[in-house]
Chains A and B, each alone.
Chain A
Amino acid sequence: MDIQVRVWRQSGPQDKGQMVTYDVKDISPDASFLEMLDVLNEKLILDGDDPVAFDHDCREGICGMCGMMINGVAHGPERATTTCQLHMRHFKDGDVIDVEPWRAAAFPVIKDLVVNRGAFDGIIQSGGFITAPTGTAPDAHATPVPKPDADAAFEAATCIACGACVAACPNGSSMLFTAAKVAHLGLLPQGQPERDSRVVDMLDAQDAAGFGGCTNMGECAEVCPKGIPLNLIGRLNADYRKAVGKRR
């Protein structure tokens, strides 16, 4: 199939940037979206142009490195799918596809489609862990965990930190990301001792990093490639109220 892509080109953080149109011909419907960009880049290089920079690594939907706005939707038209797992069979011959980077105050553009998501690490640093230095652990069976809790913790833990939630949010909020980690650790018995400080510290870090506030728009959960549910934000708010209440 033959398509046209309109790609955001920005040579560096200071550059204003613009959309540039390219023809991409003879693409297999079985190619992934990123493989389509590979084909475009091979051509650009041989033509003496600068290839399009984009982040990607595992290309199997788990590392969270890839991500771009495709026709205005984070990770493109398929639900619960990362950009690398989106295949060209979901487009039609002759389509014109807009490709842009994540846009959020806390994710500055580095080049073209590559953004800096380091602010996510800062949120985890502030409390997204259980303090359990190596060597101090009791036997794994010392504390049984009810299966429903373990399963719910797992569901929350499947977040890959791709940043689609932030990119989709009109406020540029990272609430779903933070809520997923708060739920993952807060649902497990091992996570209880730090449960109160964790939620407070992570929210503080989130605000300090320049993410916007959450107004329950729900766009985040719509685009989440791992299907992290919106109700985790409610859970976070409940945890937060409890934690702040205890501090008073």
Chain B
Amino acid sequence: MNFWNEGEPVVDQAAPDGPIETRWDRRKFSAKLVNPANRRKLSVIVVGTGLAGGSAAATLAEAGYKVRSYCYQDTPRRAHSIAAQGGINAAKNYRNDGDSIYRLFYDTVKGGDFRARESNVYRLAQVSVNIIDQCVAQGVPFAREYGGLLDNRSFGGTQVSRTFYARGQTGQQLLLGAYQAMERQIGLGNIEMFARHEMLELVIVDGKARGIVVRDMVTGEITIDLADAVVLASGGYGNVFFLSTNAMGCNVTATWRAHRKGALFANPCYTQIHPTCIPESGTHQSKLTLMSESLRNDGRVWVPKRGDDKRAPGDVPEDDRDYYLERIYPSFGNLVPRDIASRAAKNVCDEGRGVGPGGLGVYLDFADAISRLGRDAVEAKYGNLFEMYQRITGEDPYEVPMRIYPAVHYTMGGLWVDYDLQSTIPGLFVVGEANFSDHGANRLGASALMQGLADGYFVLPHTLANYLASGPYEKITPDHEDVVAARTQVEERVQKLLSINGDRTVDSFHRELGHIMWEYCGMERTEEGLTKAIGLIRGLREEFWSRVKVPGTGEQLNQNLEKAGRVADFLELGELMCIDALHRAESAGGHFRAESQTPDGEALRHDDQFSYVGAWEFGGTGQAPTLHKENLDFEYVHPSTRSYK
């Protein structure tokens, strides 16, 4: 059976060439500018108010454009960037430990298993230093040392300390910086904010993105918003797995609707499974909670050497413990990158050596750190994380080791964008986790916050201006036939969901989809499993559209209607993820194909066949999508076997 077709290659037309150090400067210089007096005549819609969307909206408004921002939460300050714990990377070299822009670039390309674009990653490393300056100026209360200067910590996959942090809630503090800058612009009348609104369709007129169809989640009213350009900053799609560390409302609808309208979706199978999450406790579980990777600075990961060792952790003598990360990867130890730490945890659990209920857990032990540094020092560093763990599990991690297990955390894939962050639909820009651009097949810790803010504060404002400089675009009205068609599509879909009135809840479908994805498209994937998953998802999708029960009406706050629309899109995305994972018959970063591994079980890439971005064109629901390859050239960091041993 033919699951996909192959089309023409896709080429990044905006990609600059020449020396990598000056590419971004040259792109900025060649980009067209908009006269300050003309900016207020140009309007931009920004969907999502996390680090990428919030920083983009604020910066565009400061520049003088008319911005309209949308979020599904009750206020822009709640976007899921808020939950990021550990930190944000920047090549400041404040530690004098050999860091540099080039090293951050190198680490990120390597960490992404040589599946990211060099130009984009280099730019990311360059602007990382500006981000920290900007955030400090806004009043972000980063951790400081006694001399009053900023503190740093280490994260996985690097051998320098370049991570800036604010206790265990760096995400919230950075987001408040962007949110406050946004609120200032709202107060000045430069941003119009629409909270509790959800984008349900993209409006394309004459081949250009010109607006969105939104539903007011309080009144149910469906309205049209038209502008000169649309920016999607709607985050990742990890919730396709049902259980993930994403917030309950995180969804793929904005990007999936754009994909259905022609935007290519790149590398959907690249998902990050985070190694340090609190294990599932039962069938009631609605989400999983991450414990920051920073814990691996001082915590030691282990399981008993023997699977039948059922003693309490404190009763297992040193000789009977297997500190498997330190054993297998002596040079990086407990700080190996996330994909490697997760798979190692899965391997020891598959061997029957897992701990806790169901054997799905490993210990993260702080006993050594507590005896070395003292309890107070450990509490100062990780106190709030320890409290959170205790609140959820009822166990005290100062006394007994934490139990952790990998969980879906981040999606490297997303809408395909060029160097200007523009998708294949002119006028549609995509920033932050919603695009695919900088992390390749695996994202390093503390790099998501960096990318979101880099895109929003420092990249998009220049590249979007270049697009807007050709505007204002032809004025269109809500009665334009393409606009009416988009709106009708949304109304019909809402009515359809409400009218099925079947016998299964939305959550029951979501949960079942999540099981399929985790089982066959999770930490380890096989041709057989993926093929099976595609069939299962198609069957489930059919069942959804005949048996789902959505209570209430469309003209009110209806949380099940919201969920139903999101799950319907996940049921299409899940299939594409499996097809992408099936076609990529190699292992790379977060994508591990059991058929492609080294004799000692490490991921085995096939650069001769797969050194490209897989960008998919929608082919119709249940129809074969078309693959467009963007070839990846490595001029600076030459692909090698990623080794952390």
Contact = CB atoms under 8 A, between A and B. Distances in A.
Contacts of A131: 184
Contact of B143 (A129, A150, A157): A150
A185 B130 contact: no
A74 interface: no
B187 A125 contact: yes
A63 B83 contact: yes
Contacts, number: 215
A39 B149 CA distance: 49
A81 B183 CA distance: 27
Nearest to A63: B78
A31 B282 contact: yes
Contacts of A121: 75-77, 183, 186, 193, 195
Contacts of B457: 134
Interface residues of A, number: 80
Nearest to A78: B391
A38 interface: yes
Contacts of B286: 32, 34-35, 38, 59
A150 B62 contact: no
B162 to A, nearest CB: 13
Interface string A116-127: 111011001110
A231 B597 CA distance: 59
A51 B550 CA distance: 10
A53 B507 CA distance: 15
B73 interface: yes
A126 B526 CA distance: 56
Contacts of B133: 137-140
Given A27-B284, A134-B55, A157 B388 contact: no
A55 B461 CA distance: 33
Nearest to A201: B187
B134 A31 contact: no
A226 to B, nearest CB: 10
Interface stretch (B164-172, B301-309, B365-373, B465-473): B164-172
Contact of A190 (B137, B247, B249): B137
Contacts of B141: 150, 153-154, 157, 184, 188
Q: Please indicate which of the listed interface residues A32, A131, A134, A188 has the most CB atoms of chain B within 10 Å of its own CB.
A: A134
B7 interface: no
A147 B549 contact: no
B355 to A, nearest CB: 17
B148 interface: yes
B247 A132 contact: no
Contacts of A125: 183-184, 186-187
A137 B249 contact: no
Contacts of A151: 144
A62 B172 CA distance: 8
A31 B394 CA distance: 12
Nearest to B146: A147
Interface string A189-212: 011000000000000000000000
Interface stretch (B203-211, B413-421, B492-500, B552-560): B552-560
Contacts of B184: 125, 129, 131
B14 interface: no
Nearest to A141: B149
Interface string B453-485: 000011001000000000000000000000000
A58 B187 contact: no
B58 interface: yes
Given A35-B286, A141-B94, A118 B148 contact: no
> Interface size bucket, B side?
35 or more
A63 B73 contact: yes
A194 B168 CA distance: 28
Q: Please indicate which of the listed interface residues A42, A45, A131, A144 has the most CB atoms of chain B within 10 Å of its own CB.
A: A45
B138 A130 contact: yes
Contacts of A134: 55, 58-59, 62, 134, 181, 457-458, 461
B82 A62 contact: yes
Nearest to B184: A129
B301 to A, nearest CB: 22
B98 interface: no
Nearest to B391: A85
Interface string A61-76: 1111100000000000
B137 A129 contact: no
A234 interface: no
A158 B134 contact: no
A233 interface: no
Contacts of B394: 30, 87, 89
Interface in B541-569: 549, 551-552, 556-557, 559-560
A161 interface: yes
Given A30-B282, A42-B505, A158 B169 contact: yes
A28 interface: yes
A144 B145 CA distance: 10
A23 to B, nearest CB: 16
Contacts of B245: 60
Interface of B: 55, 58-59, 62, 73-78, 80, 82-83, 92, 94, 130, 132-139, 141-150, 166-167, 169, 171-173, 176, 179-181, 183-184, 186-187, 193, 195, 218, 245, 247-249, 281-282, 284-287, 289-290, 388, 391-392, 394, 457-458, 461, 503, 505, 507-508, 549, 551-552, 556-557, 559-560
Given A28-B284, A59-B287, 14 more contacts: A38-B286, A51-B551, A60-B287, A87-B392, A121-B186, A126-B187, A128-B180, A130-B139, A132-B137, A135-B134, A140-B135, A141-B150, A154-B173, A157-B176
> What 4 pairs across the A-B complex have the smallest Cβ distances?
A144-B148, A129-B180, A137-B137, A125-B187
